[in-house]
A and B are shown apart, each in its own frame.
Chain A
């Protein structure tokens, strides 16, 4: 596609439920990032995928968070047993090899009631 897409654009869930957020990166963009943007805050790095290498999960805030990337393309961020503090905009970004620029999706706004 022309850009990075994310779905859903908005997700409202109840505390304790699991959610899955999806990212479709640009074809050929081997690097993929997930960030979290809380109200009035900068972006918080969550996880990084690069090709077939093991992902850098150092930014995941707890073991309730996990992510996978299938076939080097689509990625899913899963949050189990959601808490109210998980409410934020979750952003996905993709980067072509050697380009030094990340291309962002529109984000998923997650609200945990």
Chain B
């Protein structure tokens, strides 16, 4: 069946460090891929998405490329800020459902 695996947290970085949060998936067909973010005390919100292989989603300095050959959708940011501290979820869209990773807590220290 479909599944999503993302790196365990928490991930702790200093401000301006480079960020990678790994996400790999197992799926039949050609799913859409998503990164959602949950800031402290707030609801989940879509960060970026990609709907087909080789698409790159980007938003707020974050990027992720849909890699079919490695079944991956790793999240990257070149220079993180304290305000990026949050929990990040990778998800796979299968029909109308979203299949979720367990989430990765990101802590950015000034």
A contact set with B: CB distance below 8 Å: 3-4, 31, 33, 40-45, 48, 50, 56, 91, 93, 100-107
- Across the interface, which residues of A come within 8 angstroms of B69, CB to CB? none
Chain B interface, DSSP helix/strand/loop, else mixed: strand
Q: Is the CB of A91 within 8 A of B32?
A: no
Size of interface on B: residues with Cβ below 8 Å to A: 21
The count of A-to-B residue pairs whose CB atoms sit within 8 angstroms is 46
- Across the interface, which residues of A come within 8 angstroms of B100, CB to CB? 42-44
Within 8 A of A (CB), among B5-54: 32, 36, 42-46, 49, 51
Which of B44, B46, B89 counts the most chain A CB atoms within 10 A? B44
Question: Does B108 belong to the interface (CB within 8 Å)?
Answer: no
Within the assembled complex, what's the spacing in Å between the Cα atoms of A106 and B4? 23
Task: Return the contact of A106 from the options B36, B42, B89 (Cβ within 8 A).
Answer: B42
Within the assembled complex, what's the spacing in Å between the Cα atoms of A107 and B45? 12
Shortest CB–CB separation between residue A10 and chain B, in angstroms?
13
Within the assembled complex, what's the spacing in Å between the Cα atoms of A101 and B44? 12
B contact set with A: CB distance below 8 Å: 4, 32, 36, 42-46, 49, 51, 89, 91, 93, 96-103
Q: Is the CB of B102 within 8 A of A41?
A: yes
- Across the interface, which residues of A come within 8 angstroms of B42, CB to CB? 106
Q: Is the CB of A43 within 8 A of B49?
A: no
- Which of chain B's residues has its CB closest to A101's CB? B46
Q: Is the CB of A100 within 8 A of B43?
A: no
Within the assembled complex, what's the spacing in Å between the Cα atoms of A102 and B32? 13
Q: Is the CB of A104 within 8 A of B98?
A: no
Shortest CB–CB separation between residue A58 and chain B, in angstroms?
9
Within the assembled complex, what's the spacing in Å between the Cα atoms of A100 and B103? 21
- Across the interface, which residues of A come within 8 angstroms of B93, CB to CB? 100
Q: Is the CB of B46 within 8 A of A45?
A: no
Q: Is the CB of A50 within 8 A of B103?
A: no
- Across the interface, which residues of A come within 8 angstroms of B36, CB to CB? 104
